[in-house]
Amino acid sequence: MNEEINPSQKPGGNGSSGLKILWLFLAFIPSLVTILGFETRTPREGFGMFALILGITCSLLAGIGLLNGMKDRVVRVVLGIALGGVFFLLNFIIVLFVGCSQMKF
């Protein structure tokens, strides 16, 4: 008997690596949007609040989405929220460094 695992039976199969890359891309979209917002000469009113809401939303969705293969839903949500917090912190640090590097004295 052949005891190899069928590719359709592998855990996390069916193109999940491409989906995980899309979740990671979603996690860092807030950095891109905020950095592009620095480039405008006249910042729009409410852009800071928009960037904050976008950052929180994308980070949490990406954190939970990356852990989509876990069976226990409660653990997935708790770890996803923690991972979302890490993504939000990374976005904040990226934007902070880029913003400080563009300051003119």
Distance (Å, whole) CA 96 – CA 105: 17
| Matching residue, tokens 């904050």 | 52
Q: What is the structure's pLDDT at 14?
A: 55
Q: Please state the pTM of the whole predicted model.
A: 0.77
Give dist(CA 44, CA 65) in Å, integer. Answer: 31
pLDDT at 9: 52
Contact 8, 14 (CB under 8 A): yes
Q: Along the chain (105 residues), what's the average pLDDT of each consecutive run of 10 residues? A: 57 70 93 87 82 94 90 91 96 91 72
* Sequence-distant (≥ 6) Cβ neighbours of residue 20 within 8 angstroms: 66
pLDDT on residue 8: 54
pLDDT of residue 1: 55
